[in-house]
Structure 1
Amino acid sequence: MAESIVTPLSQNIIDKIQHQAEYPGDDEKDYCMQIIRQWLSTSPHLPQNLSDDYIYRYLFGCKFNIQETKTKLENYLVLRAQHPQIYANPDIKEFETTGVSLAILPNATPDGCRVYCIYDHSDDYDLTTVLKNFLMLTQYVAHHEKHPVHGFIIMMKAENMSLKKYLKWTPMLLKLSVENIKNTPEAMKGIFIVDAPDYVKPILDLIKKFASQKISERIYFNEPSKLFEMLPKDIVPHEFGGDANSIVKMGDKILNCFEKEVPWFEEQDNYKADLDLYRQTHKEVEVDTFGVQGSFRKLAVD
């Protein structure tokens, strides 16, 4: 179960999160849930079997703003349908064979954020598979979380980012990563890229062009001091200069949990929009939903 991966939030942290999210009380929460359920029932292009927890994560993350909840939830379900290469057919075996260790820290930050870690220690890997595996992890953790969190932080150790791997970061893949961040219910509170070669910085500059100003301002390149301003050292893995266990050991525990829930992962393929029905009422929708024009496929190196 997820308890073996993350420690449940304390009541003190939950109280802080509810205050930050402007929790309106149980009656108002139930009313908002009814509105979203009614909207879903009149939206045949969206799945009708979303759980209450699934919907509540979006309401909570959007501070119970009904319109924002509808927009984010619909956008995310459309993304899942448009990009099966990163959302569909999750393969547990791929999680341990990419050459990139993925983990989530057992303990949340004092303000209730979950922290995800990415450690690149391979000569080569498929970036699409890495992104797919990362999304598998975030979905799994969110599903088993007993209470919505304040947000999430991503740490990436990129000392082994070779020029060969750098050139695989296509603008479309970068934009897709940003769109996923924008349309998940939990807010991204920080992305920290550490120990990275200088030629990685143009990737981040391109991400910032795709992202909102708020997201752009939360992306840090080789600034470990900023990392420890936000995170207590005792929860940070030693690969990132902290005092906690190795990210590789954390990843092994995650894989063991994944292997016990293969049917649940397979079920997630059902939670996506019907694109044929969606296009009937959204005539402007194209295969490329991101507005990335032209035929470029790789980043240029100056």
Structure 2
Amino acid sequence: MKPADLNEQYARFPEISRDEMQKFVNWIRAQPHMQNLLEEEALHFFHACKNSMEMSKQVLDTNLTVRTHCDDFFTNLDCERPELQRAMRTVSICPLPQTTSDGYRVIIGKLADTNASNFNFVDVMKLYCLIFDLWMYEDGIRPGHIIVIDLKGVTLGHVARIGIFQMKKFLFYLQEAAAIRLIGFHFINIVPFMDKILGLMTPFMKKELTSILYVHSNLEDFFKHVPQSILPKDYGGQEPECIEMRETFHRKLKDSRADMMEFEKRHQVNEKLRPGKAKNASDLFGIQGNFKKLDID
């Protein structure tokens, strides 16, 4: 597990002042409740926040706080754990090797096993976040990222296994704490009950996310956003099939197993040392009991 080259990243984004970045790193190291992140890791936040010092501080603190209190997605990141092994058999999560013409990175998620009884939303999202973290760590900062969800094989049985509170947590993280510039969120191979899936999401989405949410009734429309040529062969592209790309990344996860568990520890806060009032999960996400299970009958 090797971080992207710092000098190369600063060269690609000359608008980022390294002196300002150093001030940001120094601020992190002065926070008693934070771990000492690497400059390469801190750079993701500064870039995602468009070089705003105050916003970078806020988003970083939110990110580390979510990772500390959202044990659903961000703790026990040993890829050899049974629940993650099951998730690795259930879905294919594929970061693409090529970028769009604008330099955007693309990641695709789809079912590998369509048996709904094997689908656990929490474990799948934990695997998704784990892969995304490793991918970004090694890839460095980019002009933007595109998330693609392929719904082929998804049934109402899968939707019934999605907890509304867990969906709220993930969308909170994506909108308030993720260290990326999200350019597009695309659904392809949509299903007749798409309204049920959107019904899970839209109560927790801000207008900034809804404005980049795309639901494609055909792939030709999707290809206007993500060129077919950079996609896996599953979609008529030139890259290896999703199943092959998945196995390649799973091997990388296993090779980086110890590093990712160390990454987990470094990206948490110590609430006992936080200046002022300590935070907890309720401060971030509210009370779980406030949510009813979504009616999908």
- In structure 2, do the counterparts of structure 1 residues 213 and 97 end up closer, same or farther at CA, with 3 Å as the change threshold? same
Q: Which residue of 2 aligns with 1:255?
A: 250
Query: Are positions 1:111 and 2:105 aligned together?
Result: no
Query: Are positions 1:229 and 2:224 aligned together?
Result: yes
How far off is 1:284 after superposition?
7.0
How far off is 1:129 after superposition?
0.7
How far off is 1:298 after superposition?
2.2
Query: Which residue identity does 2:54 align to in structure 1?
Result: Q
How far off is 1:199 after superposition?
1.7
How far off is 1:41 after superposition?
3.7
Matched residues in 2 for 1:230 and 1:78: separation? 33
Q: Is the 8 A contact 2:165 2:291 kept in 1?
A: no
Q: Which residue of 2 aligns with 1:165?
A: 158
Q: Which residue of 2 aligns with 1:126?
A: 120
Q: Which residue of 1 aligns with 2:207?
A: 213
How far off is 1:237 after superposition?
2.0
Matched residues in 1 for 2:195 and 2:104: separation? 26
Query: Are positions 1:75 and 2:83 aligned together?
Result: no
Matched residues in 2 for 1:185 and 1:14: separation? 17
- In structure 2, do the counterparts of structure 1 residues 300 and 55 end up closer, same or farther at CA, with 3 Å as the change threshold? same
Matched residues in 2 for 1:193 and 1:96: separation? 25
Query: Which residue identity does 2:19 align to in structure 1?
Result: Y
How far off is 1:249 after superposition?
0.5
How far off is 1:73 after superposition?
0.5
Deviations 1:28-68 (Å, cap 9, x if unpaired)? x2322232233224421221x20010111111121210011
Query: Are positions 1:39 and 2:31 aligned together?
Result: no
131-140 or 107-116, larger mean C-alpha shift: 107-116
- In structure 2, do the counterparts of structure 1 residues 24 and 222 end up closer, same or farther at CA, with 3 Å as the change threshold? closer
- In structure 2, do the counterparts of structure 1 residues 217 and 100 end up closer, same or farther at CA, with 3 Å as the change threshold? same
Q: Which residue of 1 aligns with 2:86?
A: 97
Please show how residues 121-160 of structure 1 align to structure 2 within 5 Å. 121-124=113-116, 125-145=119-139, 147-160=140-153
How far off is 1:75 after superposition?
0.5
Query: Are positions 1:186 and 2:174 aligned together?
Result: no
Matched residues in 2 for 1:129 and 1:72: separation? 25
Q: Is the 8 A contact 2:149 2:188 kept in 1?
A: yes
Partner SS for 1:173:
helix
Q: For this pair of structures, how many residues does the alignment match? A: 285
Q: Which residue of 2 aligns with 1:175?
A: 168
- In structure 2, do the counterparts of structure 1 residues 41 and 14 end up closer, same or farther at CA, with 3 Å as the change threshold? closer
- In structure 2, do the counterparts of structure 1 residues 276 and 287 end up closer, same or farther at CA, with 3 Å as the change threshold? farther
TM-score, normalised by the number of residues in structure 1: 0.84
- In structure 2, do the counterparts of structure 1 residues 290 and 244 end up closer, same or farther at CA, with 3 Å as the change threshold? same
Query: Are positions 1:276 and 2:272 aligned together?
Result: yes
Partner SS for 2:108:
strand
How far off is 1:164 after superposition?
1.7
Q: Is the 8 A contact 1:81 1:275 kept in 2?
A: no
The one of 15, 27, 31 equivalent to 1:24 is 15
Matched residues in 2 for 1:109 and 1:292: separation? 40
Deviations 1:151-171 (Å, cap 9, x if unpaired)? 211222212222121012222
Matched residues in 2 for 1:225 and 1:299: separation? 32
Structure 2 residue runs without a partner (length 5+): none
Q: Is the 8 A contact 2:69 2:280 kept in 1?
A: no
TM-score, normalised by the number of residues in structure 2: 0.85
Q: Is the 8 A contact 2:188 2:215 kept in 1?
A: yes
Query: RMSD of aligned C-alpha atoms?
Result: 2.8
Q: Is the 8 A contact 2:28 2:37 kept in 1?
A: no
| Identical columns (%) | 20
